[in-house]
Structures are given as structure tokens and as C-alpha cells.
A and B are shown apart, each in its own frame.
Chain A
Amino acid sequence: MTSLPGAASSSTPAAALPPAPAPTRRRWLAQARFETATILRHGEQLLVALVLPTLALLGLALSDVPDLGPGRRVDVATAGVLALAVVSTAFTGQAIATGFDRRHGVLRFLGVSPLGREGLLVGKLGAVGFVVALQLVVLGTIAAFLGWRPAGAGVVPALVTVVLGAAAFLALALLLAGTVRAEGVLALANLAWVLLLGLGVLLPTDRLPDALTTLARLLPSGALGDGLRLSLVSGGWPLTQWLVLLVWAGAASAATARWFRWSD
């Protein structure tokens, strides 16, 4: 009979050391890396995160429809597609992945491992941050080839908008994933993705019918899309949109803390 295998690479045999967690930062980085790799290896996640936004960018930039309003068309289209990328990764991808992780007991298993629940959350934040940054680089590069020229003064406020938008949509994703069964999450997250495209993400809210304009501006989709368009097309600071995103992030986080269930 052989013994439980000790660490092969350590100079001190693992069996001689008492069990202990890896340092906090290492655990968090490991989880962020694991989540990021899972997203990047998952075909459906890549489709939603990169392929569909790229197709949307090409479609909007190279055609005349729909009407995107004032400003260079490629500039307006790119701002909207960057908003779409944030929604895809922070909301759709995370809601579906977390919903099925919850179904399979992954959240419970990792929650009682040295990672813990706070480590799971930090890992998700890190993975979403990395993937969104990757999306900005890839989509920004493609847009640059199509003639995109963002307003220089709007880069910093645009990054703030991206961070606030990602926070609001990630909180909404966790709320959905933690309160609805996995199949329901899949259906609702995909439906929401389609609906939000037209509610301020790709289409500016002032292009919508009057009855929908106010509603869309109060939604995180409208705030994110309009905020990025104001920053990247005009170089403005979208303070109102930031307030809307902050309210959504705060409300969804509070609701998630209250109602999130770790078991399906």
C-alpha cells in the first residue's frame, strides 16, 4: 500500500508540513486565472464575448442602418459595441456560468475550500476585468482599422464608465444566477442580452421611440451605452449615467447579498 502522495516539487516533504492555505493573494490570483481560462476555453462564452460583438461592429460600421444619430458612424458604433462587450462578459457570460456552477455544486465546493466565498467573488471580478480589457483591445484594434478615432479627452471617463457598467452588470448576473434555476438563467440571460441591445447598448437612447427613451436611460444598458458614446464620441463626462450605474450596482449587490442561494 502506498501513502497519500506528498508534494513532489517541494524541498520540504509536504507530509512534514501541516495543512495550511496558500497566501490570500495567491488564492485570489489562482481563482481569477482559473475563471479567465475557463471563459477563454469555452466556445459559447467566446462567441458572446468576442465573435458577436465583432460581427455587430462590422455590421454597424459598414452599413447605413439603423440610424445611429449624430457623430461619425464608426465612432458611435464602436462605443455601442464596447458597451455590448461589457454586457456580454459581465452579465450574460457570468450569469450562465455561475448559474451552472451553482447547479453542479461548484460554488459550495469552492466555498468550503481555502478559497472561500469572498475568494470566489474576487476571482470573478478579476476574470471579468481581464476579459473586458482583452475585449477592449481586440475590438478597439478592429475598430481602428475601420477608422475609429475616439475623443482623447473621453478615454478616462470611458474607462470609468466601463468599470461602473461591469460592476452593475456583474451584480445583476450574480443576482440572477443565485436566485433562478440554471435553465431559467440560461433563457433569461440570453433574452436580456437581445433586449438590451435595443435598449441603449447599440442604439443611442435618443434614437428610440419617445415612450422607451426615458425607460432606457434609467436602465444600466442605456446608461452604459450613452455614457460610452458621450465619452468616446464627444469627450464628455457622463455624470448622470455614472449615477444610474452606481444605483444599479448598489441595488443589485444588496439584493444579491440578501437573496443569493449557494445551492440550486
Chain B
Amino acid sequence: MCAVSAVEVVGLRRDIGAVRAVDDVSWSADSGAVTAVLGPNGAGKTTTMECLEGLQRPTAGTARVLGTDPWRASAEHRARVGVMLQDGGLPVTTTGERLLHHVARLHAAPADVAGLISRLDLTRVAGRSIRRLSGGERQRVALAAALVGRPEVAFLDEPTAGLDPHARLEVWDLVRETAAAAAVVVTTHSFEEAERIADQVVIMNGGRVVAQGSLDEVRDGRPLEERYFALTAGGRR
């Protein structure tokens, strides 16, 4: 019997105007695991993520999340998927606490907002306008908003960008905990992050997948950083 992956990308292509942002990309992510997607800027990581989130429509190939085409997803499907966008997606005129309570109201059985705020060390700033939060504080609010529905699949686009080392550790713990009952897909530029939290690694370059597998398979006996630079050398667009 073959288990179905929670996230599956097969032959995905996405053209944006004349630019082929993603070209014949295939990979999958399983429940109970963290999958880290690495690659230089312009590698196609965010485009792939947005196809999986239902924000972009693939030009060719398929993207499936929990067996569903995300482009045609229902509210029932969207409730099972948590999304943290690269640009945050936070309304700046409200407070983090109000936003999180609002997102929680969209779910039938959300996580405890106060607990999430405390867990992400946002208690002191949760009542402040999001406009007045630092970049790292906004990142943590966006992460909380992605996880407040207790998703079965979480797409986290650079969740620790701009965070200080303490906050990064806390986020890594939370991501690992979330992965106990979910498939978590994380894009990152941090080798340390991938090595600390990922079970599976996908390396993209120039819109294509250049390596994928378990962390050990991709490292192939060498430091991840060394493998990354060897695989992506000269491929930046």
C-alpha cells in the first residue's frame, strides 16, 4: 500500500509573463515531517509555495494539498491549511491580538490565542498596532496567524527572517511541535535552520529542483552549506 503525501507537486510549471518562474518541479511533503525548501532569490520557492497555497494557478503540472487542487479550494480545505506569507499579510491598522482573535473566529476549533501569544513571546506587544511592531514581532504575529487554526498542513515562507536568536529557537521548537501532527513546509535561506528542523530538504535553483531527499541524502556526507553552493553555483538569475 502506498501512503498519499499531504503535499504533492508533479511537473509543476509556472510562467509569469515571459518569465518561467518554475519549470517541471516535482516533490512531496509528508505529514509528521518538516520539509525545508532552499534556494537563492528567484529560485522559484515562493512561486511554488503560492501555487500550493492557491494564490497562483500553475501553468502546467499539478499541485495537490491534502488531495485537493488549492486553486479550487473550499473553506473546509482552507481551514486545514495554515499560511504564513513572505510579506506577512498583516493589516497594519489593527493590533496583533485583535487580528489573532479575528482569524481564530474563522475556525471552528482554533488554538488558544492567549496561549499562542504567550508561547511566541508576544504578550508585551500584542496590544500594540501592528504598524508599530518590529520586523521580528510582525514575523511572530504572522506565524501565530498561520497556526491559530491548528492546521494539518502549514506553509511558512521564511518564518525566522529577521528574528533574533532566542526568538528563532522558540519558532523552531514550535515548528517541530506543529509537525508532530501536520506537514510543515518551510522556505528558508538558513542552512542552520534547515539542519535544525528539517526532515526533508528540497533545493531549488533557476526554477528547477536540483536536489531533494532526506537531510542526510541531500548532504551526502558533506555540510549542507557546501552541497548547496555546489548545486546552485552560477545558477542565480
The yes or no verdict on A and B being binding partners is yes
CB distance from A108 to the nearest CB of B (A): 6
Chain A residues whose C-beta falls within 8 Å of the C-beta of B60 in the assembled complex: none
Q: Is A24 close to B, CB under 8 A?
A: yes
Task: Please tell me the number of chain A residues within 8 Å of chain B, measured between CB atoms.
Answer: 47
A13-25: CB near B (< 8 Å → 1, else 0) gives 0110111111110
**CA gap between A17 and B181 in the complex, in Å:** 12
Specify the chain B residue showing the minimal Cβ separation from A1.
B173
List A99-115 residues whose CB lies under 8 Å from chain B: 100-101, 104-106, 108-115
Q: Is A26 close to B, CB under 8 A?
A: yes
**CA gap between A41 and B145 in the complex, in Å:** 22
* A3-11, A153-161, A190-198: which lies at the interface: A3-11
**CA gap between A116 and B72 in the complex, in Å:** 11
Chain A residues whose C-beta falls within 8 Å of the C-beta of B174 in the assembled complex: 4
Q: Is A27 close to B, CB under 8 A?
A: yes
CB distance from B49 to the nearest CB of A (A): 11
CB distance from B192 to the nearest CB of A (A): 19
Given the known interface contacts A5-B112, A14-B150, A26-B105, the answer about A101 and B177 at a Cβ–Cβ threshold of 8 Å is no
**CA gap between A10 and B104 in the complex, in Å:** 13
Task: Please tell me the number of chain B residues within 8 Å of chain A, measured between CB atoms.
Answer: 47
CB distance from B34 to the nearest CB of A (A): 14
From A30, A42, A116, B75 is in contact (CB under 8 Å) with A116
List B100-139 residues whose CB lies under 8 Å from chain A: 102-103, 105-112, 114-116, 118-119
Q: Are A20 and B79 interface neighbours, CB within 8 A?
A: yes
**CA gap between A177 and B174 in the complex, in Å:** 36
Q: Is A260 close to B, CB under 8 A?
A: no
Q: Are B55 and A104 interface neighbours, CB within 8 A?
A: no
Q: Are B79 and A106 interface neighbours, CB within 8 A?
A: no
Q: Is B41 close to A, CB under 8 A?
A: no
Given the known interface contacts A17-B108, A104-B89, A114-B106, the answer about A109 and B83 at a Cβ–Cβ threshold of 8 Å is yes
Q: Are A21 and B108 interface neighbours, CB within 8 A?
A: yes
Chain A residues whose C-beta falls within 8 Å of the C-beta of B152 in the assembled complex: 18-19
Q: Is B149 close to A, CB under 8 A?
A: yes
Q: Is B90 close to A, CB under 8 A?
A: yes
Q: Is A63 close to B, CB under 8 A?
A: no
**CA gap between A27 and B114 in the complex, in Å:** 20
Q: Is B97 close to A, CB under 8 A?
A: no
CB distance from B15 to the nearest CB of A (A): 16
**CA gap between A15 and B79 in the complex, in Å:** 14
Q: Are B111 and A4 interface neighbours, CB within 8 A?
A: yes
CB distance from A83 to the nearest CB of B (A): 27
List A216-261 residues whose CB lies under 8 Å from chain B: none
Q: Is B178 close to A, CB under 8 A?
A: yes
Q: Is B162 close to A, CB under 8 A?
A: no
Q: Are B76 and A101 interface neighbours, CB within 8 A?
A: no
**CA gap between A6 and B110 in the complex, in Å:** 7
Given the known interface contacts A19-B79, A108-B55, the answer about A14 and B93 at a Cβ–Cβ threshold of 8 Å is no
Q: Is B87 close to A, CB under 8 A?
A: yes
Specify the chain B residue showing the minimal Cβ separation from A100.
B92
Q: Is B159 close to A, CB under 8 A?
A: no
CB distance from B178 to the nearest CB of A (A): 6
**CA gap between A116 and B75 in the complex, in Å:** 7
List B165-179 residues whose CB lies under 8 Å from chain A: 173-174, 177-178
CB distance from A186 to the nearest CB of B (A): 14
Q: Are A8 and B106 interface neighbours, CB within 8 A?
A: no
| Most chain B CB inside 10 Å of its own CB: which residue of A12, A14, A100 | A14
Q: Are A38 and B150 interface neighbours, CB within 8 A?
A: no
**CA gap between A113 and B87 in the complex, in Å:** 16
Q: Is B53 close to A, CB under 8 A?
A: yes
**CA gap between A200 and B4 in the complex, in Å:** 62
B61-103: CB near A (< 8 Å → 1, else 0) gives 0000000001001011011110101011111111000100011
**CA gap between A4 and B53 in the complex, in Å:** 22
7 A-B pairs with least C-beta separation = A5-B115, A109-B89, A105-B89, A5-B112, A17-B109, A21-B79, A20-B108
7 contacts between A and B (CB under 8 A): A7-B110, A22-B107, A30-B105, A31-B102, A38-B91, A42-B93, A112-B78
**B residues adjacent to A (C-beta < 8 A):** 53-55, 70, 73, 75-76, 78-81, 83, 85, 87-94, 98, 102-103, 105-112, 114-116, 118-119, 145, 147, 149-152, 173-174, 177-178
